[in-house]
Structure 1
Amino acid sequence: MTEPALRLDGVSKSFAVRGGARTDRVHAVRGVDLTVLPGQTVALVGESGSGKSTVARIAVRLAEPDAGTVTIAGRDVTHLRPRELGPLRRDVQMVFQDPYASLDPRMRVSSILLEPLRAHGQVEKGTAERRVAELLETVGLRAEDGDRYPHAFSGGQRQRIAIARALALRPRLLVLDEPVSALDVSVQAQILALLRSLQEQLGLAYLFITHDLHVAREVSQRIAVMHLGRVVEEGTAHQVFTDPVHPYTRALLSAAPVADPRSRGTRQRIVLSGDLPSVLEPPSGCGFRTRCWLARAECAVHDPALEPHRSHQAACLFPEELDATG
């Protein structure tokens, strides 16, 4: 059986939030299960504040979960101490959203790319220049770009540099946190094409964080939908897009822009009413019930688990009601 590149089991994370004399806790992630296989892309989608980026930080151990386990390439890394994280960094790397903030403007690109290699003692005398050239050419840049500073590059080129830095240690898994959301649409397409090419060449696994459903469908084999810290639906990209079984997913898809004008009139837009749930005081039972048009009294009592329904999984007490609404 293939060992997952990443496995999260029952992962939860909360943060203290101080307001005056009062301290509250934000339950950012609640009981998340997620598996990414070698060579696979799993997209984690949802609105801002759903917990996606917290899951990303837990996956690379920039944050430690309060509960649950994090396993990378068969190794439990949940509670590694800071000094024990070195070997983990060789297996998993992260690419951040903002290519302007993620690169040190005071460093030449060559130094940026060599920094992780030096930190792990992987720079041999006389090989540094060749390794920098290899990394730059791998992401579609020129070897001579290593002598320049980040300010000399466009946003898309900076994100290519960030990807090259992430590849320096030859990881098995990349966690990509909204890697194209700060870029123009045409540049987004180029970066997504680069990521697909790298995956084919290097056999990389991706955990791809995005709020953009069309990007998720384009890049991923599987999609997990997050709402208020929980995964509420999970399946193949085709299943989630063509046969959504959670009301929240159905609402998200109905609000996504449609490229083909001929399809716009055939799709029903779902306008959510009701109260927006608070991460400080989430509703009892199902976290989506205050906005769900199918909610019943039972939804305020029972918090549904992620369970099989038709072709994939959803956390809904009455998914058959969604079937009836079409």
Structure 2
Amino acid sequence: MSFPLSGPRSSVPSRRRPADLLSTALRWILRFSGALAIALIVLALAGPYHGGETLSRVGEGAQVVILLDRSGSMNDTFAGRTPEGGAESKAAATKRILRDFVGRRPHDLFGVAAFSTSPILVLPLTDHRDAVRAAIDASDRAGLDYTDMARGLAMALSMFATDRADEHHVILLVSDGGAVIESHVQDLLRAEFRKFRTDLYFLFLRTAGSKGMFDQPEPGENLPQAMPERFLNLFFQTLDIPYKPFEAENPEQVEAAIHEIDKLERHPIVYTERLPRHDLTGPAYALACLCIGLLVAAKLAETPLVPRQRSSRTAGAAKAPG
């Protein structure tokens, strides 16, 4: 008996489902949403941001060092008395007026130094206005009696930024008294002033009844020890630099002098402007939550599909006798 090499083909047709483009597209969308949600969460944890660039601009300004006298007499009023009631001390009035001066000059670099027995570097040159105002606020603390103005001027000159030597340099000296500067120190200061091409403004806060820098000496008073303010003014005139003295006997005259200095010091200056950053952490988390929400919605919408024909066959096989 011979057997066929191959049996007859099955007459049962193939049950392959037709391609469902909608299901395929939905499957890829859900996969992409899952991958995108993971990527967005990782990105949000890295703290992304947009912007924050630094731009160079040209404005009007200068490098300004405010040199403040911190001798004990600055704590008195212009009348030479201890402040009482609403009276301002010379230091307090100067502080108030200088704060407004700093606010009117947005492109300047400001530094603050003080001197009494020895010079004090209060704040190096900076464009942070809050720090400059805080340094000026600290200028009305109690000072000492001795005034070493020469060392204060030397410190002010050393504060100018060497990497920006082409910009305009200004020293605003505020004091209520002069000082005797020895001849060899005067020569050193002349050289330093010429080196930095510095403008000098001397704001002399004159106490009522005291000698002024423009007063003519009486017989026997034409000495640096007797009229230090006058001889200090004469020394500044020999520096071969732009120099302008001011004499103020009340807060109003101090304010007028500062306004004039503000008008005079208008020079081209290159300054940097930092644009604010825009934080992208929130949008990244929001998009990640949206992708996760889509996955959760798809999971909740799932329905188990059981073919009816297959279920009936399974039920019939269960009822058949063994």
Higher relative contact order (CA 8 A, sep 6+): 2
Question: With structure 2 as the length reference, what TM-score do the two structures score?
Answer: 0.28
Question: With structure 1 as the length reference, what TM-score do the two structures score?
Answer: 0.28
